Amino acid sequence: MSGPKRKTILITGASSGLGAEMARQFADLGHDLALCARRIEKLEALRAEIVAAHPDRRVELRTLDVNDDEQVFEVFRGFKKDFGSIDRVVINAGLGKGAPLGTGRYDANKETAMTNFVAALAQSEAAMEIFREQNAGHFVMISSMSAMRGMPKTMTTYAATKAGVAHLAEGLRMELHGKPIKVTVIYPGYIASEMNEGIAGDQPLMASTEKGVQAIVSAIEKEKASACVPPLPWAPMSVVMKHAPLPLLKRLI
Ligand SMILES: NC(=O)c1ccc[n+]([C@@H]2O[C@H](COP(=O)([O-])OP(=O)(O)OC[C@H]3O[C@@H](n4cnc5c(N)ncnc54)[C@H](OP(=O)(O)O)[C@@H]3O)[C@@H](O)[C@H]2O)c1
């Protein structure tokens, strides 16, 4: 029996939230997994859960702090060696810390900028090294709906990093157009995860982790160029977010 297309998937930030649920749902679809994050015990528990449900899936784990450049390359190359090829990489590790600019919290904003943008660049370099060598692969960047427009206050730096990573991926897509390496950018709206635990009860647009990730996995499996997820309300909302006059948008955010 032949397995799914893009058999082996590497996911960063797989220890919780969207990354862990993507791992579960991709395993359900028959994929093998290369999973990494800092909290190895969480990855071990996730692997036990996946292998219990699907004893024939291969799941390899590595500890990774994406802010450690050398470790990013070591881990990606190590997974490539384990599996022989990596067919898809999902750059998902991210952080939601932030404070209004000029309020004494450069540390929080810098941490978000380093993890969400500079470390995503390192992961993109490491993924593309593998894909160029294979002349094949699917590059997936997890951006955010907040990339649609500059965002106020605690979101300012976060939104800028997510616009930055979307552009990185879009640049690659233009370079690789017509070649065997494909590029997808995912723009999630609110999906329940550790990152937004604090606001889950107050946010009417929050999707459950399972439903939100179903929309992500569906868009990735279709290898869409880009997708706002879940499509409702976020696809129409993307138009509003890009074009609404500032006073109106400020009231909506
Ligand atoms: N949930 C949403 O509503 C939403 C919306 C838009 C975009 N996103 C994006 O989706 C991605 C996943 O976030 P989430 O919502 O699932 O949040 P989460 O539950 O907090 O998960 C974040 C993941 O990133 C990993 N991570 C953070 N810093 C890391 C580091 N320095 N090195 C390695 N891994 C690191 C964490 O693993 P360790 O702590 O174990 O290292 C964890 O697995 C992020 O890029 C986020 O910006 C989420």
The 10s digit of each residue's pLDDT in 213-233 is 999 999 999 999 999 999 999
Q: Which of 41, 89, 193 for a ligand 1 pocket mutation test, highest count of atoms within 8 Å of Cβ?
A: 193
- Ligand 1 residue neighbourhood (C-beta within 6 Å): 13-19, 37-39, 42, 64-67, 92-95, 115, 142, 144, 188, 190-191, 193-196
| Cβ atoms 71, 65 nearer than 8 A | yes
Closest atom of ligand 1 to CA, residue 18: 16
Mean pLDDT on 50-66: 98
CA distances from 71 to 5, 68, 122, 198 (A): 28, 5, 10, 31
Q: How far is the CA of 116 from the centre of ligand 1 (A)?
A: 9
Q: Per residue in 188-216, pLDDT tens?
A: 999 999 999 988 778 899 999 999 999 99
Q: What is the pLDDT of residue 2?
A: 62
Q: How far apart are CA 182 and CA 53, in angstroms?
A: 30
68, 91, 195: residue to mutate for ligand 1 pocket, most atoms within 8 A of CB: 195
Residue-averaged pLDDT of the chain: 96
Q: What is the mean pLDDT of residues 34-52?
A: 98
Q: Which amino acid is at 229?
A: V
What is the distance, to the nearest Å, from the Cα of residue 78 to the centroid of all Cα atoms in its chain? 20
Distance CA(53)–CA(44), nearest Å, equals: 14
Mean pLDDT throughout 105-130? 98
**Does residue 183 sit in helix, strand or coil?**
strand
Is residue 158 annotated as part of the catalytic site, yes or no? Answer: yes
Strand 181-188 to 226-229 pairing:
parallel
Q: Kindly tell me if the per-residue pLDDT of 1 is higher than 60.
A: no
